Structure 1
Amino acid sequence: MDWLSPASLAGRTVLTLLTGLLVFHLGSVWLLERNVEGALEEAREVHTADHAAAAVRVLGALPVEVRETAARGLSSPGFAVAWASAPPPDLRDGGAALASLRARLERQLQDPAGLRLGRVPAAGDVQHVRGGIGLADGSWVTFDVPMAELAYVPSHASLASLSAMALGIILTSVLVVGWINNPLRRLARAADQFGAGGSPVPLPEDGPREVRHAARAFNAMQARIHRLVADRTQALAAVSHDLRTPIQRLRLRAGFLEDTEAQGAIDADLDEMEGMVASTLAYLRGEAESEAPRQADLATILRTLCDDAADRGDAVTYAGPDRTPLPLRPLAMKRAFANLIDNAVKYGGGARVTLSDVSGDATVWIEDSGPGIPEDELEAVFEPFHRLEASRNRGTGGSGLGLTIARQVIAAHGGTISLANRRGGGLTVKVWLPRTGPGASGTEAKAEAGPGT
């Protein structure tokens, strides 16, 4: 479910939908609560005004001696009525909060002899509205009503509705966004496979109009690139084949020279020409593509290369496990590591090769004690024909394709390669290869630091 992470288009789409709809739902619940609170407040004022006006009319029509008893009869748990000869004492004016209730009472009583309203504290958090209305004979009818504050607290029903809606949005969004993004994921996978040096991967040209158009354009692009690479490789192969004949003729003629020194120089030049042609063809042809991957032992490949270099008199050592089986293209991988070890010997005077096998993935460090590489050139040296040494002398600079071919081969195996200058001097080349083998997507190396860095 990596495609649902916040970094993916699908994850961001689901998150946007969920956030927007949740905000909308919370706003709807808040407006509903506010409207309900307003409606309850208005109904409570109407109820209070009606009861108070009715009590004034009833008590005003009764004889004085029965008014107190009648007031008790008009009382209820939510509305206390009393009759008194004087207005209620210490009554603070309710101000704007009770203006609406005051207006209702004035409209219903039509010019009352006296009207006082105010809020008084009571037990707990509930406040009471207390009022006094004057009668024609100078006595007063008082009333006391609890006015509970209606705070905004979502009910269990609102929370349940919110949770159910969020779950529904998530499930629906996952299904719909996954369906919409499936063509994009297919396109990304095909681009990864084709970019890793594989053959064209035709995409099905179905789905919405824009997706069909993108699939057609991608398929046409793959075909053009593949045809271009094939034509270029075929042309260079033909040139290489044609070059071999004059090179062999020159070599044969050089053999008849009596000047041994001149003969050696010509042979060296011819060897350089053959080597440059072979390296260029290996890079352009992409030899890793023609070799089928199989289970091979990386440790054996590295030990063989180190032993061959040591037999030539080079200071090359190997440290690591005796066996590290991985799915590899053995010949291509051997060529890649041969280039890396040759560079370390040529520029650093030797190579220390270390292999680490962790959970099936392999990390290889190749260290030397040479001058290193300027920091701003650590990435540029992987470019084709890029050389730090300006001359084209193979004894000092090579063809400029060794690191390029090594990266090409390692990337085709789903691995990564990086260069770093060592603190004590020299260069460290780090190669990480996954257990999944060729065709895997390159991921970040598991080991961030190697020996001697």
Structure 2
Amino acid sequence: MPRSLFGRLLLLMTAGLVLAQLAGTAIHLRERQRSLGDIVSQEMVQRFAAIHRAIDGEPEAVRQRLADRLSTPRLALSIEASAPQAGQARTMLTDFAQRMREQLGPGIEVRTVALPRFGAFAFDMYLQLSDGSWLRINGSAPDDILAQPWHVLINLGVMLLAIVVLVAFVARSTVRPLTRLATAANDLAEDLKHPPLPEEGPSEVQESARAFNLMQTRIRSGIEERERFLAAVSHDLKTPITRLRLRAEMMADKNLREDIRHDVDDMQQLIDDALDFLRGKAVDEAIQPIDLVALVESVADDFSNDGLVSLEAPEQLRFNGRPRALQRALRNLVDNALKYGGNARVALGTNGAEIVLGVEDDGPGIPESELESVFEPFHRVESSRSRETGGTGLGLAIVRQVVRGHGGRVVLCNRPGGGLRVEVRIPS
């Protein structure tokens, strides 16, 4: 079966109509053969019986001359001393031999060597005369009388071609609104302010378009309300954090001041990560051409003070995406590799139609049961939740959000020699 709905509709509708037409044509040809065979059989029986009676009633000396006079270019009559055995050739004539015997009367043998059939209207038969000789009737009719009905097949082909064109038009007009609906659904992920879908087509498709437009409106309203709420929360949280930071600077105890400053920084980082994740910056940022090699090199340079970050990349790799979101995701991956593995090896390349970005470390890796759970917000494999041994638990969640916003996927796997490999695959 074709994968597209248009292909399936076209195939099923065309197959059904073609089968119906073929069945109708077969029934028509069968009835035509039966009717013609019955008519031709009756006419031939009456004609040949009359010829047999006329010749059999004459003396033996004049039978051949009478047969020659009754012969025509398409009907040869002759008197034979013997006759071959009757054949079993296919014929379109219904019960011809039985009708011939009934018409001639009992005691007269009929031997048929060849009888008319579709495509070859020829006959060769022997009728026994009263003196034991045989009247041979051999002839044919014009080929176009009972030839194969090619005109019927030509008409059928033209009709089927018209049906296929009509079915293709109907299927395309039916599927087109669904295609627009699928396209609009894909565009919705890129732009929540995409114009509403036209509500046209069959009633079911119109209802689907109305439901989709209503869904888009509700999603956009919900996200806009969330953004307003997050903006208010961000402002309300940053104000007390700033006050705490200022008050910490005024404290006389240096150790206590450093501890409070460290806690405030952790709180600020946690709030920033949570707000970034909830805002969904991967969706909000506009898509633009990016030099991926330059972007990856800039991130690697930011972490390469201690020589713990290595990079392998082609000379140039262009991509249309969201640069700030991708930079944030890559920074999270490299930061995790350094925190948990002590080093990071970054490799950028292509594999077919995909861009592949890999980040490896030599750390302890992640238990197999946790490879999917680590993408959940605030989930951390290390349970102490200490900022000294890990982050906020949002790093990989943000990475997946960014990558999915580009139509890609993130894969985690433990390396055979130890350590973790994070692989980002994005369609190019």
Same fold by TM (over 0.5)? yes
Distance 2:226 2:178 in 1: 31
* TM-score normalised by L of structure 2: 0.82
Distance in structure 1 (CA, Å) of the matches to 2:155 and 2:235? 77
Instruction: Measure, in 2, the Cα distance between the counterparts of 1:170 and 1:422.
Output: 56
d(CA) in 2 for partners of 1:49, 1:419: 90
Name the structure 1 match of 2:144.
Answer: none
Distance (whole Å) between structure 2 residues aligned to residue 266 and residue 154 of structure 1: 101
Q: CA deviation at 1:42?
A: 3.1
Alpha carbons of 1:98 and 1:344: their partners in 2 closer, same or farther (altered >3 Å)?
same
- Structure 1 residue 373 displacement after superposition: 4.1
Task: Identify the residue that residue 442 of structure 1 maps to in structure 2.
Answer: none
Return the letter of the residue paired with 1:105: M
State the 4+ residue runs in structure 1 displaced beyond 6 angstroms: 92-99, 125-128, 358-361
1:62-141 equivalences in 2 (<5 Å): 62-75=58-71, 79-83=75-79, 88=83, 90-91=85-86, 100-109=95-104, 111-119=105-113, 130-135=125-130, 138-141=131-134
Report the equivalent of 1:18: 14
Match of 1:226 in 2: 220
For residues 9-49 of structure 1, the C-alpha deviation after alignment (integer angstroms, 9 at most, x for no partner) is: 11211111222222223333333433343344334433431
Structure 2 vs 1, CA of residues 402 and 157 (structure 1 numbering), >3 Å: closer, same or farther?
farther
Deviation of 1:238 after TM superposition, in Å, equals 2.2
> Aligned pair in 2 of structure 1 residues 301, 348: CA closer, same or farther (>3 Å)?
same
Q: How does 1:47-446 map to 2 (within 5 A)?
A: 47-75=43-71, 79-83=75-79, 88=83, 90-91=85-86, 100-109=95-104, 111-119=105-113, 130-135=125-130, 138-145=131-138, 157=151, 160-161=154-155, 163-196=157-190, 198-255=192-249, 262-311=256-305, 313=306, 315-356=308-349, 362-375=355-368, 377-434=370-427
* Contact 1:120 1:127 survives alignment (8 Å): yes
Q: Which stretch shifts more, 138-147 or 238-247?
A: 138-147
Are 1:48 and 1:145, in contact at CA under 8 Å, matched by a contact in 2? no
Q: How far did residue 303 of structure 1 move?
A: 0.5
* Matched-pair contact (CA < 8 Å) for 1:414–1:434: yes
Q: Please state whether the residue corresponding to 1:388 is helix, strand or coil.
A: coil
Deviation (angstroms), 1:342 = 1.7
CA shift digits 1:403-437 (9 cap, x unpaired): 222232233334444334444444333334455xx
Name whichever of 378-387 and 326-335 sits farther off. 378-387
The one-letter code matched in structure 2 to 1:50 is Q
Q: Number of residue pairs matched?
A: 422
| Larger deviation, residues 21-30 vs 354-363 | 354-363
**Does the aligned pair in 1 maintain the 2:86–2:111 contact within 8 Å?**
yes
How well do the aligned residues superpose, as a CA RMSD in angstroms?
A: 3.9
Secondary structure class of the residue paired with 1:114: coil
Q: How far is 1:302 from its partner?
A: 0.7
* Secondary structure at 1:142 match in 2: strand
The answer as to whether partners of 1:370 and 1:427 remain within 8 angstroms in 2 is yes
Deviations 1:123-151 (A, max 9, x none): xx99965343453xx44543355799xxx
Question: Partners of 1:424 and 1:144 in 2: how far apart?
Answer: 97
Identity %: 38
Query: Per-residue deviation at 1:306?
Result: 0.6
Q: State the distance in 2 between where 1:404 and 1:200 align.
A: 26
Secondary structure of residue in 2 paired with 1:11: helix
Q: If the length of structure 1 is used for normalisation, what is the TM-score?
A: 0.78
Q: Which deviates further from its counterpart, 279-288 or 419-428?
A: 419-428
Q: Deviations over 1:53-79 (max 9, x none)?
A: 012210132123212332344345665
**CA distance in 2 between partners of 1:155 and 1:302 (Å):** 74
Q: In 1, distance between residues paired with 2:299 and 2:17?
A: 62
Listed as ranges, the gaps of 5+ residues in structure 1 are 436-453
